[in-house]
Amino acid sequence: MNAVPERFPPSTIKNFQNYICPISGIKANGKNVPNQWVNCPLVEQPICYGLCLDLQSIARDDEFDDHPYVDDFYKLAKKLNVDVLKLRKTCLNHQKKILIEMLNDEFYPYPGDKKESKVLLDWIVNLSNEL
């Protein structure tokens, strides 16, 4: 289960012909470009959807520093000159916001997943309170 942000095709990114994902370096008009992108509050720009899900998973891990890809978070924090904890909290807060919006949507897109979304939201809230 993930906090699924609004997705959009790369062609909708402003100046997409020259746009490069600020985290992965993938070109929005390149060969084998991902077909779904999302706005990311970590960099305040669009990133590839798959990368978003990867970062969410790392941020949610209760054993964050032992996550096999935690170095990606540390590298991004260094690149942005931001504290890793602040970056992680930003990601968790974004996930909370998405889940709350999804759960409050009368046309919840995944009715069968509503229970799992509530469990995930509780997990993120509890984890955020511990940080």
Kindly state whether residue 95 falls inside one of the protein's structural domains. yes
- What band does 109 get if pLDDT is binned at 50, 70 and 90? low
Q: CA 24 from chain center: how many Å?
A: 13
Kindly state whether residue 1 falls inside one of the protein's structural domains. no
User: Structurally, how many domains does the chain consist of?
Assistant: 1
Kindly state whether residue 3 falls inside one of the protein's structural domains. no
Cα–Cα distance, 86 to 8 (Å, whole number): 27
The angle at the Cα of 109, spanning 105 to 114, to the nearest 5 degrees, equals 75
Q: pLDDT tens digits for 67-100?
A: 999 999 999 999 999 999 999 999 999 999 999 9
Kindly state whether residue 41 falls inside one of the protein's structural domains. yes
Kindly state whether residue 84 falls inside one of the protein's structural domains. yes
Domain housing 62? 10-130
Kindly state whether residue 119 falls inside one of the protein's structural domains. yes
pTM: 0.90
